[in-house]
Each structure stands twice: as structure tokens, then as C-alpha cells.
Amino acid sequence: MDIAMLAWRTLRSLPPLYAWRLLHSARAEVLDETARILGRPPAPRGLARNFLGYRLEHPVGIAAGLDKDASMVWLAWSMGAGFHVVGSVLPHPNRGVEPKILVRLPGGGTVNRLGLPSKGPRTAYERLHLNKPPGMPIAVNIASFTVKGYGYLYKLFSSLASWIEVNISCPNVEDHRSFEDPEMVIELCRYMKPISTPALLKIPPTRDRGLLARYLEVSLECGFSGIVAGNTLRITYQGVPAGLGGSSLFETTLFMVRNLRSMSPPGFAVVGVGGVNSGSRAKALIDAGADLVEVMSAIVHRGPHAPWLIARELSQLL
């Protein structure tokens, strides 16, 4: 077993919240240097593709949540991710909620309650200005409590990100309305105009076909290039609101991808996220029409190499 694998096995054996805190408290320069020494694993065969003008070695990427402040960009590269999503980045530093929760559930699930902690846009901006790794697009996921905040973040990161994910599926409200309301999306996207860098709308999990159709309509009206379907499912865990991720979301993700693909015009991007933990699940989403897939809970269960491991399994299936 090489040193990288040993390090990640150790990390994976720790309680997940402890491992997450350890990674977020590490100095970014140390993580960068470690990653450069580790290098990048070989690309799984037969999976290279173009997406929004970028060349990807494979279609499995790291979802928002692992690297809130862009301190793990080189680490994502050395873990062999096909692409990397930084964030959610907020317009101001945010400590998140207490107590924080991040647990592994048996069978591949996760429960998290972090409350969108963010060091704020300057930290992520400065990190992304540095030398970026080759051959791995980097998206920035933005979230805000106000419409103006979305506009500010979109403009700030437009020149640095390969594409922007607009995360509306979080407990963020303005005038007591939720950004998950498609009408609020129309309002917030007015502050993002003109849309130059591709923007994708990240929506919550739903099996409501009418709601999916409305999200699609507003995305097209706003000039978004695609939809990321979906996010964690809101639940109550030990008496407090939290997000459920992982295995049990998969059927809903499949439903969303299939329906969005069948309703969307040619060239509209559909990214599937929720419950992908194996090559066969990645394949099912791609067969249903996903251009790319993202993983988060699989990282909590299988370690940060999970996207690469899943891509390798996918390559063996094709």
C-alpha cells in the first residue's frame, strides 16, 4: 500500500466530523505541497469528454461541501477527481451552526448539519488565483442569504471558475421566502446579469415533475447552461434540522436526471448528484442523460479517492 492510500485510510477511519475539521484546519500550502508530491493517478480509460468547453479525463467529480474555501484544489487533483466543485462560498464569512453534525449511516448514507460555514469570498478568491492544477476543471458553488449576495459572488468568481453552481437548496431566506422557490431564482438571477461564465442551478431533490419543469423553465429564462440535480434531503436528526445524503437519494436523483434530460433542449447540461457510490450507479445516471456526476457521501465512506475509484469502475463497465 502506498503512503497516499495509508494516509487516506487513516483519515477515513476517523469520525467524519473530526476528519472534515482536520482537513479544513490544515494549511492550504501544506495540502498543495503534499498533493504535488503524491501526483495524479492515471486517467481511467475511455471516459474523456468535453463539458462546457473544458476537457475532462472522466465525468466523476467532487461535489460542493468537501472544500468550502478552495484549500483542497490540488488535493482533489491528486485524488484523481474528474472535476472539482469548491464551496459553497458565501458573500461574508459565516461560522455555520452549532453543534455541527457529520455522521456516516450504515449502508452508505450521511447526515450533515454544518450550516454553510465559509471563510468568505476573499479566501477562496485568493486561493483560486494561484497556480491551478492542469486537466481538471474547477467549479465554484455559491450560496447567499440575499439576492444581491448571489450577484456579487457570481461576478467575483466568473473570471476564475470553469463554471459556477448556484446553490439554492439551503436554509437561506430573504423576506421569509426560500430561494428554492423558482420565482426567487428569477429574482436572484437578475443580479447575476450579464451571464458570461456558464452558470448551473443546483436544485433540491424532488420527485415532482411539474416543479422540475418549472426549474428548467426559469433556468432557460435566466440564461443558465444547466442544472445540478440535486442536494441533500432535509430531515430532522436528533431533534434538529439536517441534510440526508448518500445511498437512499439515488432513485430520486435518477428520476430527476431522466426527467430533466427528456424535457431540456439539446446542449443543456444535466449533472447528477445524490447517492452515487459505485461505477454502476454513475453509469445508470449517465445512461439516463447526465453529462457528469458528482459525489460527496461516497467520499465520507470510501475516502477522497472515491470519484476516481468510481470512474475506474465505470470504465470497466463500458
Indicate whether 273 belongs to the interface with ligand FMN (CB under 6 A).
yes
**Pattern 18-37, ligand FMN, x by CB under 6 A:** --------------------
- Out of 275, 279, 303, 304, name the contact with ligand FMN by CB under 6 A: 275
**Side-chain half-sphere of 148: how many Cα atoms within 13 Å?**
1
Other CB atoms closer than 10 Å to residue 56's CB: what's the count? Answer: 24
Indicate whether 309 belongs to the interface with ligand FMN (CB under 6 A).
no
Decide if 144 contacts 85 (C-beta within 8 A): no
Other CB atoms closer than 10 Å to residue 268's CB: what's the count? Answer: 18
- The backbone torsions φ and ψ at residue 26, rounded to the nearest 5 degrees and listed phi first, read -70, 150
Rounded distance, CA 31 to CA 110, Å?
A: 25
Which residue's Cβ lies closest to ligand FMN?
A: 65
The span of 92-100, 171-179, 261-269, 290-298 binding ligand FMN (CB under 6 A) equals 290-298
- Nearest distance in Å: CB 1, ligand FMN: 26
- Out of 184, 189, 222, 296, name the contact with ligand FMN by CB under 6 A: 296
Rounded distance, CA 149 to CA 158, Å?
A: 14
Q: Where are the alpha helices (DSSP H) in 79-168?
A: 121-129, 147-158
- Out of 71, 88, 144, 158, name the contact with ligand FMN by CB under 6 A: 88
Indicate whether 285 belongs to the interface with ligand FMN (CB under 6 A).
no
The span of 208-216, 282-290, 292-300, 307-315 binding ligand FMN (CB under 6 A) equals 292-300
Indicate whether 278 belongs to the interface with ligand FMN (CB under 6 A).
no
User: What are the CA-CA distances from residue 62 to residues 81, 84, 157, 197, 206 (Å)?
Assistant: 6, 5, 18, 20, 21
The span of 39-47, 90-98, 129-137, 289-297 binding ligand FMN (CB under 6 A) equals 289-297
